[in-house]
Structure 1
């Protein structure tokens, strides 16, 4: 039996285990999928030694960037993005980093195109946001990151004026705010300025409808959670794990 799993921290909420467990059962595959919840990335080597039968891993918050020094090499996309969400275990024992988040997001976003203008705000600056930037660059969007601690060329949440919101028609939440069980949380943006021309895309998929989405929908914006993105990136991960 081959073992696959998800590497992250505080990941009890994750749907990946359910997704792959159902897939393995439906297809009668003799595999298992487990959550590997690490308090710090330094415990990764110990995890490997205790689980020699691991054949592939997904990686989530907060280790999409921190995992990179532990890998043998990265593929072209993950190297460009600067974040990894999929690890392939080669037969020679080498660990190769990939990123399938960009594929999942691009595929899911396609359902909402075209958007009035190719302008976007990306909420958050972590590993997940880097894959979103990669996709928006490829699609010709202009965008700004929004951060609690903004650097040059970024906005702070308190800087988001009516004009800024009305000039950026795609808003992507890459923060964990609103993830179960903290469903009352939401990114602090001025939702009052949203319109029917806006699309709010939340990478969170648990709960199915976040407070971020509810507030956008109340203004007539089109909204999406991250489930479709999760599905497509997971299937892409599966293809990578099974490639020669």
Structure 2
């Protein structure tokens, strides 16, 4: 473990941002790591406001967590991006170096891999992804790391389908696309990753297979989703959005503070407490 850096600031940006759990997770990490002078906040920032916000940051800033709609909007504003972030053209983490450079990374991908590994899923040959967008492309990358040979993406429009096929080609994952009306059939895959907004998969709760595999639902509030509840009731294993949030935040804390390992258990407990408190 390297020595701690001087007191710094970090924050999560996005819109909407009021219900983000990131402050609870990062503050718990700071406390456990003894970084009592570090601060972590949250700021409502839209795409049109991002450049001005970044331009106003001082040297005390260590890093930023980014949520929607900023994960792709930030790309042209950075000095450098990691290979992981470049592979999906999505950044959810910005780290400011000692010489003032802004470096973008994507911790959603290793976060997904770690969350699945924690539940014993370290390899998968076939999977289904529900939805498209930045989180879906990160899911494709994570599935590629797990050895997936075939992924079915269920999307609502042909434009989204073409986008997912393109991401598959870029990431070296064979992607077959189907319309949303075929999503119920696609739930039979050994691993199903739901990347859709709240309520989008509710109608699929009645289509859970008799012997379900693993469901990774990236939502954490409200929890469980109807699909996750039905999946568990049928005996399937469920990995939730809090699992993803905690594991990707672990990577962020380590990158921003220079301290490792980040306190996974303390961060998870803080997230659970924040959700319970509403």
**Are positions 1:79 and 2:92 aligned together?**
no
Residues of 2 paired with 1:128 and 1:210: CA distance? 17
Assess if the C-alpha contact under 8 Å between 2:8 and 2:39 holds in 1: yes
Aligned mate of 1:165, from 184, 187, 206: 187
Residues of 2 paired with 1:75 and 1:177: CA distance? 30
Residues of 1 paired with 2:109 and 2:123: CA distance? 22
Instruction: Provide Cα deviations, 1:189-221, integer angstroms capped at 9, x if missing partner.
Output: 364242333211111223342222112223222
Residue of structure 2 in register with 1:228 after alignment: 243
Instruction: Provide Cα deviations, 1:38-61, integer angstroms capped at 9, x if missing partner.
Output: 1x3121122124442322001112
Residue of structure 1 in register with 2:103 after alignment: 96
Query: Please, which runs of 5 or more residues in structure 2 have no aligned partner?
Result: 1-6, 163-175, 260-278
Residues of 2 paired with 1:191 and 1:232: CA distance? 30
Residue of structure 2 in register with 1:182 after alignment: none
Assess if the C-alpha contact under 8 Å between 2:14 and 2:67 holds in 1: yes
Residues of 1 paired with 2:24 and 2:258: CA distance? 23
Instruction: Provide Cα deviations, 1:207-237, integer angstroms capped at 9, x if missing partner.
Output: 3422221122232221121222222211111
Residues of 1 paired with 2:122 and 2:27: CA distance? 36
**Alpha-carbon shift at residue 67 of structure 1 (Å):** 1.4
**Alpha-carbon shift at residue 116 of structure 1 (Å):** 10
Residues of 1 paired with 2:124 and 2:85: CA distance? 28
Residue of structure 2 in register with 1:154 after alignment: 177
Task: Give me the CA root mean square deviation.
Answer: 2.4
Residues of 2 paired with 1:138 and 1:21: CA distance? 30
Assess if the C-alpha contact under 8 Å between 1:115 and 1:169 holds in 2: no
**Aligned pair count?**
235
Secondary structure of the structure 2 residue equivalent to 1:201: strand
* Structure with larger RCO (C-alpha < 8 A, sep 6+): 2
**Are positions 1:135 and 2:150 aligned together?**
no
Question: What TM-score, normalized by structure 2, do the two folds share?
Answer: 0.76
Instruction: Provide Cα deviations, 1:159-210, integer angstroms capped at 9, x if missing partner.
Output: 2353x333x12111112225xxxxxx64543642423332111112233422
Residue of structure 2 in register with 1:237 after alignment: 252
Structure 1 residues 242 and 213, CA, compared in 2 at 3 Å: closer, same or farther? Answer: same
Aligned mate of 1:145, from 153, 172, 191: 153
Question: What TM-score, normalized by structure 1, do the two folds share?
Answer: 0.86
Secondary structure of the structure 1 residue equivalent to 2:39: strand
Residues of 2 paired with 1:57 and 1:8: CA distance? 10
Residue of structure 2 in register with 1:196 after alignment: 211
Assess if the C-alpha contact under 8 Å between 1:105 and 1:135 holds in 2: yes
Assess if the C-alpha contact under 8 Å between 1:200 and 1:213 holds in 2: yes
Secondary structure of the structure 2 residue equivalent to 1:189: helix
